[in-house]
Structure 1
Amino acid sequence: MARNSVKDWNNLHYALAVARAGTLSGAALELDVSHSTVLRRIDALEKALETRLFIRHPRGYVATEAGQMLMNAAENMQDQLDLMVGRIQGVDEALQGTLIITTVNTLIPLLMPIFREFRSQNPQVRLQLVADRRHLRLEHGEAHIGIRPGAKPTEPDYVVQPGASLQSALYASASYLKECGPFKSRKNLQGHRFIAPIDAYDFIPSLDWIARQVPEEQVVFRCNEFSGFEDAARCGLGIAALHSWCAESRPGLQRLIDPPPEWRTNLWLVTHRDMHRTRKVQLFLDWLKQALARLPPEIAVVP
Structure 2
Amino acid sequence: MDWDKLRIFHAVADAGSLTHAGDSLHLSQSAVSRQIRSLEESLNTTLFHRHARGLILTEQGELLFDATQAMLKRIDAATARIRDSEEEVFGELKVTTTYGFGALWLAPRLTKLYEKFPDLNIDLMLEERVLDLPMREADVAIRMKEPSQADLVRKRLMTIKMRLYASPEYLAAHGTPERAEDLSNHRLICQNIRSAQVSSGMQLVQELMTYDIHSTLTVNNYFGVLQAVLSNLGIGVLPDYIIEDFPHVVRVLPEIESTEVPVFLAYPEELRQSKRVAAFRDFVQEEIMAHRRSRRAMGAD
TM-score (norm 1): 0.61
Aligned to 2:216: 220
Say whether residues 1:91 and 2:83 are aligned partners.
Answer: yes
Q: 1:101 aligns with which of 87, 95, 104?
A: 95
The one-letter amino acid paired with 1:244 is D
Match of 1:291, SS state, is: helix
Residue 155 of structure 1, CA deviation: 1.6
Question: 1:173 is matched with which residue?
Answer: 167
Q: Hey, what's the Cα distance between the residues in 2 that align with 1:301 and 1:285?
A: 25
Alignment partners' CA distance in 1, 2:222 and 2:80:
41
Distance 1:232 1:88 in 2: 41
Query: 1:195 Cα deviation (Å)?
Result: 1.7
Cα distance change of structure 1 residues 252 and 261 upon mapping to structure 2, 3 Å threshold = closer
Residues 163 and 237 in structure 2, CA contact (< 8 A), matched pair in contact too: yes
The residue number in structure 1 matching 2:110 is 115
Asked if residue 137 in structure 1 is aligned to residue 129 in structure 2, the reply is: no
Q: Which residue of 1 aligns with 2:283?
A: 287
8 A Cα contact 2:164 2:257, kept in partner: no
How does 1:19-58 map onto structure 2 within 5 Å?
none
Given the alignment, which residue of 153, 167, 170 partners 1:159? 153
In the alignment, the residues of structure 1 paired with residue 258 and residue 252 of structure 2 have an alpha-carbon distance, to the nearest angstrom, of 16
| Whole-Å separation in 1 of the counterparts to 2:134 and 2:83 | 19
Q: Does 1:198 align with 2:210?
A: no
Give CA-to-partner distance per residue, 1:186-225, whole Å, 9 cap, x none.
3643422212322346734344222123235435111112
| CA distance in 2 between partners of 1:140 and 1:168 (Å) | 32
- Superposed displacement of residue 170, structure 1: 0.8
**Aligned partner of 1:237 among 225, 233, 240:** 233
What SS is found at the alignment partner of 1:189? Answer: helix
Q: 1:153 to 1:267 in 2, by over 3 A?
A: same
Deviation of 1:113 after TM superposition, in Å, equals 4.3
Q: CA deviation at 1:261?
A: 7.1
Q: Distance in 1 between matches of 2:182 and 2:155?
A: 38
Paired-residue identity, %: 20
Name structure 2 gaps, 5 residues minimum: 1-76
- 1:234 partner letter: L
Deviation, 1:157, is 2.0
The 1:214/1:300 distance shift into structure 2, 3 A limit, reads farther
The 3-state SS of whatever aligns with 1:115 is: helix
| In structure 1, distance between residues paired with 2:95 and 2:138 | 6
SS at match of 2:183: coil
Contact kept, 8 Å, 1:196 with 1:211, in 2: the verdict is no
Amino acid at match of 2:280: F
How far apart are the structure 1 equivalents of 2:271 and 2:95? 13
C-alpha separation between the residues in 2 aligned to 1:159 and 1:250? 33
- Give the match for residue 4 of structure 2: none
Tell me the number of residue pairs that the alignment of Structure 1 and Structure 2 aligns: 217
The answer (yes or no) to whether the contact 1:171–1:247 under 8 Å persists in 2 is: no
- Residue number in structure 2 paired with 1:297: 295
4+ residue runs over 6 A deviation = 85-88, 299-302
| Residues 192 and 238 in structure 1, CA contact (< 8 A), matched pair in contact too | yes
Larger Rg: 1
Residues 1:246 and 1:202: Cα distance change in structure 2 (over 3 Å): closer
CA distance in 2, matches of 1:113, 1:222: 24
Q: In the aligned structure 2, how far is the partner of 1:242 from the partner of 1:87? A: 40
CA distance in 1, matches of 2:167, 2:81: 52
Q: Deviation of residue 91 (structure 1)?
A: 2.3
